[in-house]
Structure 1
């Protein structure tokens, strides 16, 4: 299990099986600086790349 902040999601994870995204509606999950990204979009791509399960909590 890996617990990280949104800024650490760009690390290279080995054997990532599950991603838990908590409170996806929070405004701080959208980066306002370049490069601009939304954490939810990044996690969806990580799910695809790693073949991991993505669980969203607090919807």
Structure 2
């Protein structure tokens, strides 16, 4: 996986976790849901990149 994409996708996952935790702390269900969504998106993109890399080698 390209280093730049790996960092970007990991950042999205981390950002989502932060939003989810903040949403839980302040009782904001919308923010919590957005955080879970961003985490899932980041995880999916990481998995797709890993699959692409596996096919290249």
Quick check: which has more Rg, 1 or 2? Answer: 2
More helix per residue: 1 or 2? Answer: 2
Compare relative contact order (CA 8 Å, sep 6+) and give the higher one, 1 or 2.
1
TM-score, scaled to structure 1: 0.31
Structure (1 or 2) with the greater strand fraction:
1
